[in-house]
Amino acid sequence: MLKVIRILAAVISLAVLPAIAVAQDIDGVVEHPMIERYPGQVIAWQHIENYQPYKVAVGPVTGYRQIGDWIETEGRVTRTFYKYEGEDRSYSEVYKNYLDALTAEGFEILGEGMSADRKGAAVGSRQWMEVTFRENPATKPGAVGTMFSGTSSSGGAGAIVASKQRAAGTAYVVIYVEQHARNYVGTLIDIVEVEAAETGLVVVDAEAMGADIEEYGRVVLNGIVFDFDKATLKPESKAALDAIADYLATHPDKAFYVVGHTDSKGTYAYNSKLSDDRARAVADALKQDYDIAPDRLEPHGVGPLSPVFSNASDAGREQNRRVELVER
């Protein structure tokens, strides 16, 4: 377990101890075993996704709301927001504790920065936090919401980005610390345990696909998997492509639009192009690898324009990222 090094006074006064003892975590949360909290902090919010893409920012802001240096990864993401209430500790002390602890435990520090006025474009600045939160959004009740939206302004802030190679795989830790109020230090810790998604659980069945087309005139191509944020088909898409090709071979009179869809995260222009590229990748694979006549498949991308679920949740966004066959 990563233990936060206590750069505190040699003895914590008895006047402080009752406040620490009274404070309690919210119900139903469990501290991640990789990191032990700063003494006196309590958990005010937590969200866990067993699998989720995550973009780790390791460089400064380089343009208008842009960061040029990212590590794109995926895996189990644990996001925990801690608060420390009291005027006896500052954001800079909490920040230094976490930085020293990560270094002592052999983490590689990929980026770090602290600023009393939050200005500039460096790691830990207000601009930097706004961009990283936009790329890795989350539900954000209460105090953590102001950190995500960049509206906290009571004092300074800092951020640490670190990684460590473990037997179980790579782990990334991103720590945001801010002086949320004169007597309140907020700390958001994201822990990303890298692992590939468990795929192949849902695939297209040629018979079921035909039933959907007959009833609805369209079918979602389950089992089609792309590299994160790219239009490159993963090898595990082969079973789905086999089934699609089988259906097309047994229904030679049918022609389709291949329609790519995205969630609403990101700009419309970017999502429109990504959805079009993914539709073309599927159509090209069927034409080139299965000898499907080119005039039977017409690819188009509609970006986020036709969601099937709300984009407000991770689960909804996942369902909205899809490729469909639509009968012409």
Locate the DSSP E strands across the chain: 42-57, 61-63, 66-67, 70-85, 108-115, 157-166, 169-181, 184-194, 218-220, 256-261, 297-301, 322-327
Instruction: Assign 14 a pLDDT band (cuts: 50, 70, 90).
Output: very low
Q: What's the CATH number of domain 206-327, 3.30.70.100, 3.30.1330.60, 2.20.25.90, 3.30.420.10? A: 3.30.1330.60
- CB neighbour class for 148 (10 Å; exposed up to 12, middle 13-18, buried from 19): buried
pLDDT, greater one: 185 or 206: 185
pLDDT-derived band at 3 (thresholds 50, 70, 90) equals very low
The answer for residues whose C-beta is within 8 angstroms of residue 15's C-beta and 6 or more apart is: none
CA separation for the pair 227, 304 (Å, rounded): 18
Q: How many helices (H) and strands (E) does the chain have?
A: 8, 12
Q: How confident is the model at residue 215 (pLDDT cuts 50, 70, 90)?
A: confident
Q: Where are the domains of the chain?
A: 17-194, 206-327
Q: Is the pLDDT score of 57 beyond 60?
A: yes
Per-residue pLDDT reduced to its tens digit, 274-322: 999 999 999 999 999 999 999 999 999 999 999 988 887 766 788 889 9
Question: Cα–Cα distance between 175 and 113 in angstroms, integer?
Answer: 11
What's the confidence (pLDDT) of residue 117?
A: 85
Q: pLDDT (tens digit, 9 = 90+) per residue, 98-155?
A: 999 999 999 999 999 998 888 888 999 888 988 898 888 876 666 666 666 655 556 8
Q: What is the rounded average pLDDT for all residues in the chain?
A: 84
Would you state the structure tokens that stand for residue 11, as one six-digit string?
């003895």
Q: Which range has the worst mean pLDDT, 31-35, 133-137, 192-196?
A: 192-196
Q: Say what the pLDDT of residue 17 is.
A: 34
The 10s digit of each residue's pLDDT in 60-75 is 999 887 898 999 898 8
Is the pLDDT at 198 greater than 70? The verdict is no
Q: Which residue has the higher pLDDT, 195 or 10?
A: 195
What CATH number matches the domain at 17-194, 3.40.1000, 1.10.10, 2.60.40, 3.30.70?
Answer: 3.40.1000
CA distance 263 to 310: 9
